[in-house]
Every structure is written in structure tokens, then in C-alpha cells.
Structure 1
Amino acid sequence: MGDVQRTDYAGDGISEADIAATPWQQARRWVDEAVDRSQAGSDVPEPLALSVATVDGAGRPNVRTVLMRFFDDRGPGFVTGTESTKGLEIAATGGIAAALTWPAMFRAIRFRGVAEQLSREEVAGYFGSRPWASRISAWASRQSQPIEGRAGLEEAYARYAAQFPDHGSPEDVPVPDFWGGYRVLCDEVEFWGGRRNRLHDRLVFSRVAQGSLDDPSAWALSRRQP
């Protein structure tokens, strides 16, 4: 192994004095700042890239990156094929963890809890907002299923493109029955702020009662060692 590249994280971290009153308010603040930075430059190229971890029946984890397409005080949400590996594992265990990570900002947010399937109304509303080509690709791809070569995928895309031609309307392409999404119903939300000498800040909101991410009475704040 060659020389190891080391970077000292020169972030401002996050303190108990500065953190917002609820995990929703703090997460919204950091997400908005990441999106603003993305629009101003190139060092945060995908501010809504969400790493999602699930567990299979043998207890082995799977992690992949999706885009956070829903975000309110109920929790972060994403869309996917419900018959994909992640969909099947969610159906079997319900457990889920997710993370937003912005290396250039020395920040990350970790969400842990259980997955709730999005309503059909939420899914249809988002699906209709997608570009026509992305709606066609949702039909063409049976996520996580094996396929021999790319040609089969391209052929499926062409077949559905012919079946659902683009007339410029959200109704041009119906929502596939096997396509939906999930929201993370959080029991824990951690805010990580990188600091020099690896003395990072980790402030964690843990659920202590029922309530949304924006209900102060539902959460207790603590600090964890880095």
C-alpha cells in the first residue's frame, strides 16, 4: 500500500448552543445550505444523494445511494421499485438507515428508524413530475433482477417508449404497479460535523415520545464521542 492521503477536516462542527430546537429544523437548515452551495459551485454535485441501508433475512446489510425526493417533518423519502432488493428487504424487516453526506462541507446527517411506504397519491404526484424518459425507464427496468447484457434493457425501453409516446402530459405514462417509494420514520437523527484532529462533533436527537421531527417534546439531544 502506498502513501495514505490524509485530510484534516477543517469544518466548524456543530455545538449544543448552535443546533436548532428540533431535528427537522436543523436538517432543513443543512439541506438548504447544501443545495445553495451546489447551485453556486461544483464541490457539492448531488446535495440530495441519500445512502440507504437495509438488512436481508440473514442479517447482512445492503447499502446503495438514491436521491432524496421527499423531505418534510415526517422524514426523508425516496422512490424505487418496490420489488427491488431494497423493497423486498424493507417488506421483510422494516428496518432502515439513511445518510446525507457532504464531504466538502464536512457535514453529514444520519437517520435511523423504520420504513413506511409512501401513499399512492404521493408517488403519482412525483412520478408525473419526472421527465418522460425517466418515466419510461421506470417501466423498462425491473430493479435488481438479473439481465443478460445491456441490449435487453435498451429493447425494453424502446418497447415502452412506443407503448407510451410523449405528448407532453404527465398522464402519458402511468405509474407502474411495481414502482413506489418509502419514508424513513426516524427514531434517531444524528448531525455530524467534521473538526480538526479527528475531534468531530456528533449531536444526536433520540426519540423519547410520539411526534414529528419538528415536535420538541418528542426528542432528547445528546453528544457522542467521535
Structure 2
Amino acid sequence: MSEEALTSGDFTEESEPYSLFATWLRDAEKSEPNDPNALALATVDADGMPNVRMVLLKGFDPQGFVFYTNFESRKGVEILGARKAAMGFHWKSLRRQVRVRGNVEVVPDAEADAYYASRPRGSRIGAWASKQSRPLESRFALEKAVAEYTARYPIGDIPRPPHWSGFRLKPVSIEFWHDRPFRLHDRVEFRRTPDGEGWTKVRMYP
């Protein structure tokens, strides 16, 4: 689908969301100066208080949207508690937004292992050294932990920490928004059918 077609609003004729998301992400990879796969991830704690932060999308397909984190971090604990989350993508250069809501599952160990092995060595060390979301007494303490794990794994394989893995958000809804003049934006929401096998599409007031 061409940029001209998307700009004209023809994306609203799409019958399913994943190919449209793939097109928009490819466009963002060409136009966004930094991290076109960045997203705002919203979770909720045990008291019902929401939290939001930026993370990076590391994969998606019809099964869902995948990202990785420390399961002992604030977001990890909150997701494991609620098993629900929401995502927001905003590509300012394209004047587009995508919102995703759904249930969350842990990715299989083999999938997490493969992604962890693909990361730079320093990032793999960092996954061991950082007690993410917990108080840090000094920068030196973090640097010391990095040095300790670097010495522990000087060469060869670095195993994936047991507390570090991935989540897959399985959407119940995916909403696409595209800026149009005079705030008469195009906005379409895809909603999972009750059997979980298909989508219904609703055009929304902007």
C-alpha cells in the first residue's frame, strides 16, 4: 500500500490489523530518527494505580506483540500480577498512532533464549547486573556489579538470567489513528471476535 493511499485514508478499508501494522512500522523505520519500534507500555499495580514507560517492540505476528524485561522489575511484577497491559505507538513524523490492549503471556524459554543470545554482550551482562526498578545506592554500585559479572563470564556463553524473559501481548483490540486536517482524523478499531479467530472493525469518531 502506498504512502499516498494511506494519507488519503484508504487504510480504513483494511479487513485485518496485522498487515496494516506491518506497513505502518516499515514506514516508521524510514522516517523516525530514533527507535521506530518504541512504545509506551501501560500496566497497573496491585492497588489499581497505573504505570506507563517506554519499551522496545522486539517482534510481532498474529500471535501478538513481544517485548523483554526483568520479571523482578516494576513492570514485570505488575504484568505477572494482572496478566493484562496496553501499548501505544506514536510516530510523530507520520502523524500516526496505534493503540493495543490485551492479555499477556510469557514467551517460551526457547524464544527468550534465542533473543537473549542475539543481544550485545554488554546488554547480556547488564541483564545480570541491574536490579531493575529497585533503589540504587550509587552509580559505583552498578558499575561494580557490571565488573563482577564481566569477570564471572569473561568469554563464551552468558546464560540468560532466570528472572529475565519476554512477554507477548495478545490483543483484544488494535486501534489505528491518522491525523487529518481540522482534527477530522481517521480512526479505526479492530476488535477480536468472541471466538478469538477473527476481527470486527469499527470506524470511530476522532
TM-score norm. by structure 1 comes to 0.84
From 90, 109, 130, the equivalent of 1:120 is 109
CA drift at 1:181: 1.1
Q: Which residue of 1 aligns with 2:201?
A: 221
Comparing 158-167 with 134-143, greater Cα deviation is found at 158-167
Contact preservation (8 Å) 1:13, 1:193: no
Moved over 3 A (4+): 13-16
Deviation at 1:160, TM superposition (A): 0.4
Return the alpha-carbon distance in structure 1 between the equivalents of residues 60 and 155 of structure 2: 29
* Alignment deviations for residues 76-97 of structure 1 (CA, whole Å, 9 cap, x no partner): 1100001111111111111200
Structure 1 unpaired stretches of 5+ = 1-10
* Contact kept? 2:31, 2:94, Cα under 8 Å: no
- 1:138-177 C-alpha deviation (Å, 9 max, x unpaired): 111011111112111111001101111144xxxx210000
What is the Cα deviation at residue 15 of structure 1? 4.0
Q: What is the alpha-carbon root mean square deviation over aligned residues? A: 1.6
CA contact (8 A) 1:123 1:181 kept: yes
Cα distance, 1:12 vs structure 2: 2.7
| Aligned residue number for residue 3 of structure 1 | none
Q: What is the aligned length?
A: 201
The percent identity for this pair of structures is 40
The amino acid across from 1:110 in the alignment is R
Hey, what does 1:36 align to over in structure 2? 30
Report the secondary structure of 2:143's partner residue: helix
TM-score normalized with structure 2 length: 0.92
How far apart in 1 are the matches of 2:10 and 2:195?
Answer: 25
Note the alpha carbon deviations across 1:51-109, whole angstroms, 9 max, x for none.
11000111111001111012111111100001111111111111200011101100111
Q: C-alpha separation between the residues in 1 aligned to 2:85 and 2:64?
A: 12
